[in-house]
Amino acid sequence: MEPDPEFLSRVQFAFVVSFHIIFPSFTIGLAAWLATIEGMRLATGKPIYRRVFDFWLKIFALSFAMGVVTGIVMAFQFGTNWSVLSERTGSIQGPLLGYEGFTAFMLEATFFGVMLFGRDRTPPWFYFLSCCMVSFGTMFSSFWILCNNSWMQVPLGHAVIDGRIVPDNWWAITTGPIVRVRWPHMLLAAFLTSGMSIIATGAWHLLRGRHLPEARVMLRWGLGLVAALIPLQMAFGHLTGDFVHVHQPAKFAAIEARWTTQQPASEVLIAIPDPWAERNLFALEVPKLGSFIASGTWDSREVGLDAFPLEDRPPVIIPFFTFRIMVGMGLIMLAVSWLGVLLQWRGRLESTRWFLWAAFLSFPSGFIAVLAGWFTAEVGRQPWVVYGLLRTKDAITPSLTTRDVLLSLTAYVAVYAVIYAFGFHYIYRLLRDGPADAATPASAATRPMGVAMLAGEAGK
């Protein structure tokens, strides 16, 4: 039996969006880090902050460019594979994506050139302002994307006219209660992703005994940032779980692998869900804890998947495991950052080599957490592309064939494999080599990257 075009289109979109989200989740936090470090250089005049800034600017420039390319490619699919979605929801999604391009992206692109080339051509205060504007632009961009996705998760402020979903209250769409929770949750995830990358890079160079002053700045600042933000992220994660519990009960039941309604409900810490028999194998459960986590009481009634028709139930295996992977990565960040701050307070941070290795190996924790969180949100939303309004199977382009999607999916995989293998390799080399030596002029270190980046933009 040949694959279904809907399934292949979902695989294609998952592939492309998984590649894309890696870069915004890194550059949003990295832009804020660059603005912070440039502010410290401006305030203190210490050359070390200039060297750290120029080192991460090169990585930011390449990551930013790769994120732009993957974002453009991702948009193509709305017309080729999901034309019914575009037709029925275009009056809402179109303006939101347009606002991102005409506000956030223009803000980023305008001042990004100043960051690359304006160090010696603009006053220090204006250069710092440009760094802040790029950072605000990246965060503003994520705002519009989260407005769009949050509306698809929990539609608010709309009306249905002649089968088309049209905006009825833009204030509810852009500043509703779901956006106010999910956007900070995504921003904090981006900051933590960048923070863990900075921690790991500093630990790596300390282990190698190279670029020690710069490595100390990266490690100590990164640890302080993550240690302060991870409790706040856990709080917003709980608030996000509350909205899922109220507005998407089927997704909540799938995340918990709760097959039947329970009162009180136990919490499945780990298991192997068996969707065919609707049971959990080798389950490790805590009685009554599920009720407390979901509702704040020990005896609440929690809805199971048996309360929903089969056609309205989301998959269980992926949301169940990805949610736990996300939580596990959060606990790793908590342990690394708080232990690192403790060792720094005791004056043993640089001498505790096992901790430096643990910090270095935690490099991918933020990226894994972001990907796992998005898989939980998007797979758990099924079978709806717009929750409660439009099913995924009804949103696909009617004339799409299996052959069409196989060709486009193969092309995406081939192009991404070639282009991003080189991109990732170059980022790896930059991270491995570390900051420029103190004797190397910072402008000389960053100018080749800037010329190459703008030459690539001009050639598009």
Residues spanned by the domain of 115: 5-261+303-458
The angle formed by the CA atoms of residues 410, 9 and 102, to the nearest 5 degrees, is 95
**Residue 454's pLDDT is what?**
37
Tell me whether residue 292 is in a domain.
no
Tell me whether residue 241 is in a domain.
yes
The most distant pair of C-alpha atoms in the chain lies apart, rounded to whole Å, by 68
Whole-angstrom CA distances from 268 to 259, 272, 382 are 11, 10, 22
Tell me whether residue 266 is in a domain.
no
**Residue 280's pLDDT is what?**
92
Tell me whether residue 272 is in a domain.
no
Nearest to residue 17, comparing CAs of 399, 412, 369? 412
Residue ranges, the chain, pLDDT below 70: 1-2, 437-460
**Residue 2's pLDDT is what?**
62
- 237-283 confidence digits (pLDDT tens): 999 999 999 999 999 999 999 999 999 999 999 999 999 999 999 98
**Residue 458's pLDDT is what?**
33
**Residue 49's pLDDT is what?**
92
Tell me whether residue 275 is in a domain.
no
**Residue 184's pLDDT is what?**
94
- 171-194 confidence digits (pLDDT tens): 999 888 899 999 999 999 999 999
The pTM of this model reads 0.89
- SS3 of the chain: CCCCHHHHHHHHHHHHHHHHHHHHHHHHHHHHHHHHHHHHHHHHCCHHHHHHHHHHHHHHHHHHHHHHHHHHHHHHHHHHCCHHHHHHHHHHHHHHHHHHHHHHHHHHHHHHHHHHHCCCCCCHHHHHHHHHHHHHHHHHHHHHHHHHHHHHHCCCCEEEECCEEEECCHHHHHHCHHHHHHHHHHHHHHHHHHHHHHHHHHHHHHHHCCCHHHHHHHHHHHHHHHHHHHHHHHHHHHHHHHHHHHHCHHHHHHHHCCCCCECCCCEEEEEEEECCCCEEEEEEEECCHHHHHHHCCCCCCECCHHHCCHHHCCCCHHHHHHHHHHHHHHHHHHHHHHHHHHHHHCCCCCCCHHHHHHHHHCCCHHHHHHHHHHHHHHHHHCCEEECCCEEHHHHCCCCCCHHHHHHHHHHHHHHHHHHHHHHHHHHHHHHHHCCCCCCCCHHHHHHHHHHHHHHHHHCC
Tell me whether residue 277 is in a domain.
no
Tell me whether residue 287 is in a domain.
no
Tell me whether residue 242 is in a domain.
yes
Domain count, the chain: 1
**Residue 423's pLDDT is what?**
81
**Residue 455's pLDDT is what?**
35
